[in-house]
Amino acid sequence: MGLYFRQLLSGQDYAVGDPIATQMVNFSYLLGDTETREAVVVDPAYSPEELLTALDEDGMRLTGVLATHHHPDHVGGQMMGFDLVGVADLLAKHPVPIHVQRSEAEYVTKVTGLSATDLTPHDHDDVLEVGDVAIRMLHTPGHTPGSQCFLVPDPDGDKLVAGDTLFLQGCGRTDFPGGDAGQMYHSLQQLASLKGNPTVYPGHRYTDAASAALDDVQRTNMVYKARDAAQFVDVFGG
């Protein structure tokens, strides 16, 4: 398998000079198969055209978009005072499937202005094949009702694209509309149980490191210090 994988930082690798992108330090990801040249982009907010240019320069062809959740700094659109470029702008020029978690679809349409028919909804543990790369889609509610992470197979060690569910330090906030600290606790435990010690690639760069092994994240991240769900909710429930 020839895995194509790029981690790009907003405000530095793309959307340079955009003050919101620079402040929010979002990551977007390019994933694909180097043999078939098929690729998807994860969370193309701020400047989707630049992300597609990066794909084109690498000789890759866009076949879809993966959305970790509906917040505008990940998919664009209007919410909480933000009005950002994102998947709607991409889709207008490049009609490809927008892959969302089923319970997140309604939120994505409200924020982005897309219709339900523009989205391809998925359930927990669905697998999306991009060429011969089989991406496992994990429903991880807590930050939003339909947050999802992507487990990407790699012979050198699997990669976990974790969105705003799990950062290298901390986790996504649960005090936004639709957030739920109890669900977040169980989602974090679900990720902790993944086999093979995948490398965690978060949705934001809140630490010096851009990625870390899941075992190291579990050992050092404060969200894994709670002894049970009740204590987690008390500490992180907002």
3-state helix, strand, coil in the chain (%, to 5): 30, 30, 40
Name residues whose C-beta falls within 8 Å of residue 36's C-beta, 6 or more positions apart in sequence: 131, 132
* Residues with catalytic function: 69, 71, 73-74, 143, 164, 204
Residue type, 64: G
Q: Which amino acid is at 199?
A: T
Query: Which pair of tokens denotes residue 3?
Result: 């895995």
Contacts of 231 (CB under 8 A, 6+ apart): none
Half-sphere exposure (CA, 13 Å, Cβ side) for 146? 19
Evaluate whether 153 touches 3 at the Cβ level (below 8 Å).
Answer: yes
The DSSP H or E segment spanning 99 is strand 98-101
* Residue from 197, 192, 200 nearest 168 by CA: 200
Residue bearing tokens 């987690």: 232
